Amino acid sequence: MEIAIDIIGEGKVEKVADSNSATLTAIPNENWTFKHFLIGNTATSENPISVTVTEVTAVFYISIEDYLKGLVGFDVTESVLNSIRIYREIKKRTDVAELSTKQRDLLYADLLMWASTSPTSYTGTKEADGGWSKTEANKTISVTDKKRFENLAMSIYKKYLDRKYNPSIKIVNLW
C-alpha cells in the first residue's frame, strides 16, 4: 500500500504495510514530542495507528519544558519546571507554538529568577558499587551570572508589568 506521509516538525514515521492497510509509528527526534497524525481534517494522537488512507501528516512539536531547558546553560530539574508551569497555569508538555510570546518570556524569566536564587555551586551525586565509583560533575554558577539572570528576569517582568516585578523603592527626605 502506497501512502504519502508529510511531516511537520522533527521526526520520522515508520510504516509497516500489507495489501490494503498500513500501521504507522511516529518517532520524534530528540527534544521533540509526537503531537498527532492528521488524516484529512481529523487529528488523532493514537500512535501507532492503522490506516487505510493514502495521505497522512505526522505533526511533532517542542514542549515548553524542552524549550526552556534549551534556553539556558544550566541543569533544570522537572520539579523546578513543574513549579514554574503551575504558577503560570501552563499544562505539562504544552506545545511551545501554542503559547504567546508573553507566556514564553515570563516562563523564561521565572526560570532565570529561580537560577539567580539557587545555590552557587553543588556537587553531583556519587554512586559506588564494589570496585568502582562514579561522581557526576560539580556545577557552579558565578555571582555575576546570578545577578545577570536576576536583572534579565526583572526586565522581562517590567516589560509585561508582571506581578513579580518589584522595583526598588527609594525614600528621599525632602526636608
Same domain? For 52 and 70 the reply is no
Mean pLDDT of 35-62: 93
Same domain? For 69 and 30 the reply is no
For residue 8, the enclosing domain spans 4-61
Same domain? For 41 and 91 the reply is no
Q: Output the pLDDT for position 136.
A: 63
> Is the distance from CB of 95 to CB of 35 less than 8 angstroms?
yes
Q: Output the pLDDT for position 102.
A: 97
Same domain? For 154 and 109 the reply is yes
Same domain? For 36 and 55 the reply is yes
Q: Output the pLDDT for position 46.
A: 96
- 119 pLDDT higher than 90: no
Mean pLDDT of the chain: 88
Q: pLDDT-based confidence at 123, cuts 50/70/90?
A: low
Dihedral sign of CA atoms 143, 149, 153, 155 in order: positive
Last residue of a domain, one of 39, 61, 83: 61
